[in-house]
Structure formats: C-alpha cells, structure tokens
Structure 1
Amino acid sequence: MARAAVQKQTVDPHVLSLKVTLRHIRPPIWRRIVVPRDMTLADLHRAIQVVMGWEDAHLHAFTVGGRQYSDPQMGLEDAANEARVTLDSLARSGMTRFTYTYDFGDDWEHDILIEKRPPATTANAYPICVAGKRNCPPEDCGGIWGYEELLAALADRDNPEHAERLEWLGEAFDPEDFSVASADVVLGAAFGRPTPPATG
C-alpha cells in the first residue's frame, strides 16, 4: 500500500522570523512572518501592510537605532532610503528590535522583533505568514483611543453612536477575526510567491 509523501519541515538559514506587534492594544494584535534575509525595509513595509490588514493609504516610516527610514517619494525630512537597508544587515549588526509607524495621524506604532530562530516550515518560497492573532483596526478610526471608542460603540446597541459607527464601517467588524491561511494567501499574491500544487 502506497504511503503519502510527507514534506519534511526544515529551518532555512536564509530566512528570518519577525514578530510584528501593534503597540498599546490589549489583548495584542500581532503577526509572525518568515522573510528572506535579503528583504529590504521597503519590501517589509509591503509585507506588514498585507499581513496586518492595512490599506497602504498613509505615510509610514521605520525607526532603527534612532534613525528613520522611509520611501524617498514621501518627502520625510531626514529619513534615509528604506530600499537600501536589508534585514540581513540589521541582524548582522546585532539589531533585534525596531519600530514601524503607519499613518502619522492615527499613529499606529508596531514593534518588530527579529526572533532568535525561524520556525521550521515546509515552505520553499518566502515571505510567509505563519501565525497571528486578532483583526487589524479599521483605517482612519482615530488611532488607539478612537479604536477603543469604536469597539465600545459596536458592542453596545444602546450606545448613541452604535448605528452611526456600523454605517461608517459599511460591514460587520469582528476584532477577533484573523486567519493565518488567508493572510498568507494574500501575502503570497503580493510577492508573486508560487502557489503550491493542490494535494489529494
């Protein structure tokens, strides 16, 4: 009787594991992504947007060791070019933590941790999303405080803002809703990652 082939999980030395956590929200909203070591901060920006669920509609910047990096086309004064910095160069310099800020109005700050050891996977193309918890806040909801007010209004039908907030959202919003598999599919599409063949 034939036995189904089982893909062996391995740790790829050419990748890094990053944990991206949105600051100041409890319970935490976070994602774990495994990325190529030669990924630039510019591409990391794209990956974070996808797996967090942002719409890439606002300015952004990384802060690494006190220095800011962003897209030169955004015109941020004193910000270095994010496309010229690789994650490998940061890891080799001993950097383990840095931050990413999206939307300087709502001021969504993300902590990025370069983890000590990437998880074993069966993947042969990257980046991939391997873990995460909780839905991303809606764009333009007013930052941390606005998001807390939004959740309070949605949870209480007697809240005078309940109907208005539902209308503003245009759809149901579940703060706990997050699918690793769905995030990974969108991430793969964004980076042109080959789709694995169907099994069964």
Structure 2
Amino acid sequence: MTTRKTGARRKSKPKHAYRLLVKLEGSEPAVWRMINMPGHMTLADLDRVIQAAMGWTNSHMHMFAIDGKLYGWADEEWIDDEPVLPDDAFTLDEVLGAAVKGFLHEYDFGDGWHHDVTVQAVELANEGRNSWPMCLAGANACPPEDVGGLGGYEEFLQAINDPSHEQHDAMWRWCGGPFDPKGFDINSANRAIRDALSELL
C-alpha cells in the first residue's frame, strides 16, 4: 500500500470552501461523488478525500493535473517529461483560488482511473457549515481495486453477474462475495473520509 502523511496541512483558517463534482471518466452509468473541501487543506488531503468518497483504498500512486501543472508524489522510478510538484505543499486556496473551474485526478497509473473534477461552487468558508471535508451526494459503486481498468471492470461485471460464466466462481472468490455496481452509501463514504483523515492527524 502506498501511504504518506500529508504533514504540510496548514493551520490557518480556510478562505474558501469548494464544492467539487468528481466523476470517474468513462464509467456508465456514471460513478460520481459531490464533495466539500475547505481551502486550507492540501492537494494530498484532497486525494485522500476523493479516494475515500469513491471507495479506493490508497494502494497506488496518484497525480493531479491542474491549470497546466502536475502535482503528486514524485517517484524517481516514474520518468515524466514534466516535473511533478509535491501535492502536500499546496493548499486548495493556493492552487484553485476562485478561478480554476476543473481539473484531473488520476489514481493507479496501471489501471488508469481518471477522475474529472468540476468546481461546482466556491463559497466563503463558514466554520459551522462547510469548513470540513464531507461527501454531499453520489451514485454507483467504485470498481474493485486492480480489476484492470474500465475494460477489466466490464469483464468482471459480466462474470460476477452470470452464474453460468466460466469465470463467475473465480470472480466471486476474488471479490469476496457479491458485488452491487449500483451500491453507494453516503454515510459509509463520510465514515471513510473521517477514517482516512484521522490517520493523518
């Protein structure tokens, strides 16, 4: 598992609260989450919130592409033409401000899960209403880790939903039981967000 503390979180109060629509690119029906993020938290924190809300397990690398720049966890073994800025050194207030309308979050460079993130609203931070990360809404289940991208996920669904499929039993065991592609629970998403961030405090 790829783990890292996001120790650069700033202690200053947020200027803004960002309402972000996160969609898994290419998913049909769309896998999406609406999240709230206070502006004083870092991009590394945002990565953990996106993963927790979606249902990922922080087992792989990630990267943000925002306004022509890349942010993530620089890996000497992963060669890229563009420099990767440390995502734990930049807050949302600094990077998004009030001007950025959308950006990309990539998780698991092997399976290549791309999340299109749209800034739905930029509000003034209000300590009693929007100054903490939370999932506000969502739909459909996140694909299982290491399923093989969108193509692998489609094959997985065909196998696990058809008892006569030659891979049905293998996928059942691999997944740990039945899988509901429409399954989403906002309470579970918010518990996962709290658990993910509590590890970093």
- Equivalent residue letter for 1:22: L
Query: CA shift at 1:162, angstroms?
Result: 1.0
In the TM superposition, 1:8-47 aligns within 5 A as 14-47=16-49
Shift of 1:109: 0.5
Contact 1:60-1:104 within 8 A present in 2 as well: yes
Cα distance in 2 between the residues matched to 1:151 and 1:38: 39
1:115 alignment counterpart? 120
Change in CA separation of 1:106 and 1:157 when aligned onto 2, cut-off 3 Å? same
What is the total number of aligned residue pairs between the two structures? 181
| Partners of 1:75 and 1:167 in 2: CA distance | 33
Aligned to 2:87: 82
Are residues 1:133 and 2:135 paired? no
- Structure 2 unaligned segments of length 5 or more: list them: 1-13
Q: Is the 8 A contact 1:69 1:81 kept in 2?
A: yes
SS of structure 1 residue aligned to 2:114: strand
Distance in structure 1 (CA, Å) of the matches to 2:40 and 2:77: 25
Match of 1:6 in 2: none
CA offsets 1:119-176 (integer angstroms, 9 cap, x no match): x997465101110111110000000000001111112111111111111112221111
Q: Tell me if structure 2 keeps the 8 A contact 1:91–1:114.
A: no
What TM-score do the two structures reach when normalised by structure 2? 0.81
1:91 is matched with 96
**Structure of higher CA gyration radius:** 1
Fraction of identical pairs, as percent: 37
Quote the residue 2:63 is aligned against: 61
Alpha-carbon distance in 2 for matches of 1:34, 1:124? 7
* TM-score in terms of structure 1 length: 0.82
Q: Partners of 2:165 and 2:71 in 1: how far apart?
A: 42
Q: Quick check: 2:20–2:119 contact (8 Å CA) kept in 1?
A: yes
Which residue among 126, 143, 154 is the counterpart of 2:149? 143
Go from structure 1 to structure 2 and tell me whether the alpha carbon gap of 1:124 and 1:94 turns closer, same or farther (over 3 Å shift): closer
Change (3 A) 1:19 1:74: farther
Measured against aligned partners, the alpha-carbon deviations of 1:70-102 in whole angstroms (never above 9, x if no partner) come to 123676442111112222223326211110111
Q: Indicate conservation of the 8 Å contact 2:17/2:130, yes or no.
A: no
In structure 2, the CA distance between the partners of 1:163 and 1:20, relative to structure 1 (3 Å rule), is same
Counterpart in the other structure of 1:51:
53
Over the residues paired in the alignment, what is the CA RMSD in angstroms? 2.4
